[in-house]
Structure 1
Amino acid sequence: MYIPPAFRDDDKESLRATIRAARLATLVTATTEGPQATPLPLLLDENEGEHGVIYGHVAKANPQWRAPVLGDGLAIFMGPDAYVTPAWYQAKQETGKVVPTWNYVAVHAYGPIEFFDDADRLLDVVTRLTTLHEDGRASPWAVSDAPPDFIQAQLKGIVGLRMPITRLEGKRKMSQNRNAADRAGVVSGLAASDRPSDREVAPLIPV
């Protein structure tokens, strides 16, 4: 990922927070048949390894897990993002030398990928992923709510994945390259937007 110095995020907790907050990630692998990618909910186990270990699962019918992986896998986690119009910059009135851009948060995690079909390991991954996304709901659903034989049958249709993270890259592009007046204009514009996602980005911009 191209990361200009002003946008680099090297804070370990910030990177992990972005991974935890991402509801859907993209798993990318290079193969002899070309790159393959699958959108997936992924789980970060922060207690394993230096940078943590990522767990998830793909459909058994998905050809991605069958193709031998060349080098490391890549998991892409996106945080809040928003379009930034030049109309919000003070520089527009002063010089007119402005162009649109996009503010966003992204984390790329790299590591060797292991695919597995062991039923006990699969059940653990499915249970942990379910708990992660059901936690906080008024009436959370649990894997144990379904009949055991039904769950065992469902597990036969998926393949688990484990990726120990060997390298993390973080990018937090939040108008840091603009002056204070321009950043203030972006904050004001995003905060007044009808889009909830825009309003989520507004407080992330340094003022």
Structure 2
Amino acid sequence: MYTPPAFREDDPAILRSIMREARLATLVTATAEGLMATPLPLFLDASEGEHGVLYGHLARANGQWKAAPIGEALVLFSGLDAYITPSWYAAKAEHGKVVPTWNYEAVHAYGVAEFFDDPERLLAAVTRLTALYEQKRAEPWSVSDAPESFVAAQLRGIVGLRLPITRLEGKRKMSQNRSEADRAGVAAGLAGSERPDERRVADLIPAPRG
């Protein structure tokens, strides 16, 4: 990922936050058959290893897990993002030498993908993943709410993914390269957006110093 120094994000806590907030990631592997990619909900276990371990599952019919990966796999996490119109820049009125851009957060996680189909491990992974996304509901659904025989049949249709993260690349492009006046204009413009996610981006624009 191309990351100019101004946009580089190395704080582990921020990287983990972006990964968890992304919810849906994309697993990319290089194989003898070419690049293969699958969108997946994943959960991060930060207690394992230096950078944590990602867990999820693929459909057993998905050919990606069957194709031997060449080297490390790449998992793409996209965080908050917003289109930035040059109309928000103070520089537009000063000299007009401005162009549109996009602000966004992204994390790339690398590691060797491990696939497994042990029923107990699969059940544990699916249970944790489900609990993660059900926890904020008034009446959370649990895997144990379904009949055991039904769950067992569903587990036979998937393959688990375990990916110990060997390195992380983080990028948070939030107008850091613009003047204070331009950043203030961007923050104000996004704060007035009808999109809740763009209003959240407004909060990430660096505030003027002092």
Per the shorter chain, which TM-score range? over 0.9
CA distance in 1, matches of 2:140, 2:102: 36
Q: CA deviation at 1:19?
A: 1.0
2:194 is aligned with 1:194: yes
Aligned AA (2:137)? R
Aligned partner of residue 204 in structure 1, secondary structure: coil
Aligned AA (1:204)? L
Structure 1 spans left out of the alignment, 5+ residues: none
Which residue matches 1:171?
171
CA distance in 1, matches of 2:115, 2:139: 32
Which residue matches 2:94?
94
Query: How many equivalent pairs are there?
Result: 207
Q: CA deviation at 1:204?
A: 0.5
2:192 is aligned with 1:180: no
CA distance in 2, matches of 1:118, 1:57: 12
Aligned AA (1:191)? A
Structure 2 spans left out of the alignment, 5+ residues: none
CA distance in 1, matches of 2:82, 2:21: 17
Aligned AA (1:113)? A
TM-score, normalised to structure 2, is: 0.97
Aligned-CA RMSD value: 0.6
Aligned partner of residue 203 in structure 2, secondary structure: helix
Q: CA deviation at 1:20?
A: 1.3
Aligned partner of residue 64 in structure 1, secondary structure: coil
Aligned partner of residue 63 in structure 1, secondary structure: coil
The residue correspondences of 1:1-207 to structure 2 (distance < 5 A) are: 1-207=1-207
Aligned AA (1:70)? I
CA distance in 2, matches of 1:176, 1:137: 37
Q: CA deviation at 1:200?
A: 1.5
Deviations 1:31-60 (A, max 9, x none): 111111111100100110000000000001
Aligned partner of residue 20 in structure 1, secondary structure: helix
Deviations 1:71-96 (A, max 9, x none): 00111111100000000000000010
CA distance in 1, matches of 2:11, 2:196: 26
CA distance in 1, matches of 2:198, 2:142: 33
TM-score, normalised to structure 1, is: 0.99
CA distance in 2, matches of 1:23, 1:50: 22
Query: What is the percentage of aligned positions where both structures have the same residue?
Result: 69
CA distance in 2, matches of 1:202, 1:149: 48
Q: CA deviation at 1:169?
A: 0.4
